Structure 1
Amino acid sequence: MHASDAGYGLWLLAAINAAFFIFFAWSFYKPLTRWDWRGFGMFSAFVVALFAEMYGFPLTLYVLGGWLSANYPQVNWLSHDAGHLLEMWFGWRANPHFGPFHIASFVFIGGGFWLLSTAWPVLYRAQREGRLAREGVYARMRHPQYVAFVLVLTGFLLQWPTLLTLISFPVLVWAYARLARREEKDCLSRFGDDYARYMQEVPAFLPRRRRGPAPSPGEA
């Protein structure tokens, strides 16, 4: 495989794309606490691994090359477009950038960054004022920042799945859930009963239909 022909070996392009998305996420997220930095660091590692294969070295295509060629002989697995594995597997023969999985990936990635950009101002104001963030998107879910990261990572998987990112994705989801629980312990020690009531009223990750405030014990 010649890098110039196949679209690989472009390490500068890989570095530029990884840096762009990492900086883009940082501009919306702006990690402050150690938990923020851990979550952001895991996201950054996923992005670096993704673009290293997308433009640098297609490790997944090399590892699976024999099986892919035997089962999908109509696909040129040495081409750069072949990295859009889902489009190739499901028979999308037009430009993969206009395939259904690629379009869906933009929806997930765009939705994730929108959620980050919506959640950050609410959290920032609450942190500056020393209070609990409960308005805006925090009125629907307790951890929108981690939900946003998972949406973005899901979008990248739909667009360009690799062995490394497929393996790391469930690990990252599990790690984000653990970070969220640790954050909640910190919030419980800081805000006490206010945060305990907040946990009862607002789900952690998946928003539910809007309801009125939960009745107090005296009103139940």
Structure 2
Amino acid sequence: MSPTIPGYGLWGLAIINAAFFIFFAWSFYKPLNGRDWRNLGLFSAFIVALFAEMYGFPLTLFLLSGWLSSKFPEVNWLSHDAGHLFEMMFGWKVNPHFGPFHIASFVLIAWGFWVLAEAWPVLYQAQREDRVAREGIYARIRHPQYVGFFLIMTGFLLQWPTLPTLAMYPILVWVYARLSITEERESLRRFGDAYARYMTEVPRFVPHRRRPADNAGAAL
């Protein structure tokens, strides 16, 4: 990476940040089986792609520099702050770290890690007792761990969108959605009517506003 482009070529910093967030996710998610490790691996690939551009090589800015410079000539698209694309294009045109997209990204990332932290002990205890997990956050949504990953990835996209992560995001959402369906089929075989009732009472990803008892049949 050319040293004339400030803020990039910091591969050590990219590795440290990627490792930190992957470890942070692992500590909250705590994989229990091979599928959990694959889920964490998909999330890790997203994080590595993100920080590789944030501190390593700004591939997205280089590929879009011509179009961006013509649309927003007042922005120095070789600066490190320019990587906050949404702030530069639609934000408050001030320090991007205090703009609306950056603030929203922190809220979503923190929310996502909170969801992971709330979900794991409930699932762990239920698996130890060989029963359906339906306490705590599992009383609101059936797959809080996937929701946590969705929130974290959305937050990072708002903060520092790149072409690779934008391409990966819908694929990961689709993969996690399909995995949730697979897990539900396995749970139905394992727990039978108990899980079938749970599916009618608690939505898959988006919590409903009313109490579960008032929403029989709502299983999105």
Question: Which TM bucket (shorter chain)?
Answer: over 0.9
Give the C-alpha shift of residue 4 in structure 1.
6.3
For residues 134 and 192 of structure 1, the distance between their equivalents in structure 2, rounded to whole angstroms, comes to 15
Map 1:26-105 to 2 at 5 A.
Answer: 26-90=26-90, 92-105=92-105
Please give the alpha-carbon distance, in whole angstroms, between the structure 1 residues aligned to 2:211 and 2:7.
Answer: 52
CA RMSD of aligned residues (A): 1.6
**Residues 25 and 113 of structure 1 are in contact (CA less than 8 Å); yes or no, is this contact kept in structure 2?**
yes
1:117 aligned partner: 117
> CA separation in 2, counterparts of 1:202 and 1:194?
12
Please say if residues 116 and 144 of structure 2, whose CA atoms lie closer than 8 Å, have aligned partners that are also in contact. Answer: yes
* Greater alpha carbon shift after TM alignment, 156-165 vs 87-96: 87-96
Give runs of aligned pairs for residues 141-156 of structure 1, distance below 5 A.
141-156=141-156
Cα distance in 1 for partners of 2:102, 2:158 equals: 7
Change (3 A) 1:186 1:122: same
What secondary structure does 1:26 align onto? helix
Q: With structure 2 as the length reference, what TM-score do the two structures score?
A: 0.94
Instruction: Report the Cα offset of residue 210 of structure 1.
Output: 3.3
2: CA distance, partners of 1:186 / 1:6: 51
Q: 5+ residue gaps in structure 2? A: none
Q: Are 2:16 and 1:16 aligned?
A: yes
User: TM-score when scaled to structure 1?
Assistant: 0.94
Q: Report the more deviating stretch, 88-97 or 5-14.
A: 88-97
After superposition, where does 1:179-198 map in structure 2 within 5 Å?
A: 179-198=179-198
Q: 4+ residue runs of structure 1 moved beyond 4 angstroms?
A: none
Which of 94-103 and 206-215 deviates more? 206-215
Distance 1:215 1:94, change over 3 A: closer
Q: Residue 105 of structure 1 aligns to which amino acid in structure 2? A: S
Decide whether the 8 Å contact of 1:35 with 1:179 is kept in 2. Answer: no
- Percent of aligned pairs sharing the same letter: 71
> Match of 1:163?
163
Q: Residue 210 of structure 1 corresponds to which residue in structure 2?
A: 210
- The equivalent residue for 1:199 is 199
Aligned-partner Cα distance in 1 for 2:5–2:162: 21
- Paired amino acid for 1:152: I
Matched residues in 2 for 1:50 and 1:64: separation?
A: 17
Q: What 5-or-longer segments of structure 1 have no aligned partner?
A: none
> Secondary structure of the residue that 1:6 maps to in structure 2?
coil
Which secondary structure state, in structure 2, belongs to the residue aligned with residue 3 of structure 1? coil
Number of residues of Structure 1 aligned to a counterpart in Structure 2: 216
